[in-house]
Amino acid sequence: MKAIIQFLKELQKNNHKEWFDANKLRYKEAQATINAFADQLISGISKFDGSVKTLSAKNCTFRIYRDVRFSPDKTPYKTHFGVHICPGGKMSGYAGYYFHIEPKGSDYIGGSILSAGLHCPQPNVLKSVRDAIYTEGKTFETLLKKAKGFTLDDSSSLRKLPKEFPDDTPYSRYIKLRTFDLSSEISDKTLYGDDLLAYCLTELKKTAPLVQFLNRSVVYAMEEA
């Protein structure tokens, strides 16, 4: 992964077509490495979450080219690589597992992480998850605790509880969430080490029960739509 980080560092400083075209071979080598790692992740995750076993890297990796149509930032290329493994692939709307590689101090996430959960769900899915937490809050909290080493992102939580839920619910902090993301930083030592794959699988396995809890709500919402 060192070569990928070095490529991304240089891309940050030279985020324009001329440099990218001159370094196209390096990009293709980096993408090939990510694709191979994605296939290994899928194979490993499928042993504890069979819902992803039919996927391949092409279903789970993202283009490096940015959509700049509605963005004030017109730099053409992303300066990170990501792999999102979930039922149906990266754009399905299901909860899943995410591997992200980015140089430290960068302006997207700011480093390499593992993540799991449900990112920015559609309104009907969000309601379904909130309903599940309201009725099964103790289970949800237990599953969060099982994901030891991961941190729940509550930075976009609502200030007030949605009006359909009573104020005295003990799980209000979770019902206020608008996204259900757990994350854990990957150190450089781990990222560059020989045991990166084993590390990712061991860590992500801790989050599988929570991912499956969330996906039951996703399925319910989609069936009701």
Q: Name beta bridge partners: 82.
A: 100
Task: Find the DSSP H helices in 47-187.
Answer: 57-60, 123-135, 137-146, 172-175
113-118 and 180-185 strand pairing = antiparallel
* Nearby residues of 208 by Cβ (< 8 Å), 6 or more positions away: 45, 48, 49, 116
Query: CA nearest 150: which of 110, 65, 207?
Result: 207
pLDDT at 32 over 80: yes
Look up residue 79 and give its two tokens.
Answer: 């300066």
Phi-psi region of 208 (alpha: psi -120 to 50; beta: other; left: phi over 0): alpha
Tokens 């781990």 found at: 190
pLDDT of residue 214: 98
Summarize pLDDT for 165-182 with one digit per residue, the tens: 999 999 999 999 999 999
Look up residue 45 and give its two tokens.
Answer: 């995750």
Tokens 């039919």 found at: 54
Task: Find the DSSP H helices in the chain.
Answer: 2-13, 17-22, 24-45, 57-60, 123-135, 137-146, 172-175, 188-191, 196-224
Residue 39 and residue 49: Cα distance in Å, rounded? 15
Is residue 131 helix, strand or coil? Answer: helix
pLDDT of residue 71: 83
Summarize pLDDT for 62-113 with one digit per residue, the tens: 999 998 888 888 899 999 999 999 999 999 999 999 999 999 988 889 999 9
pLDDT at 225 over 80: no
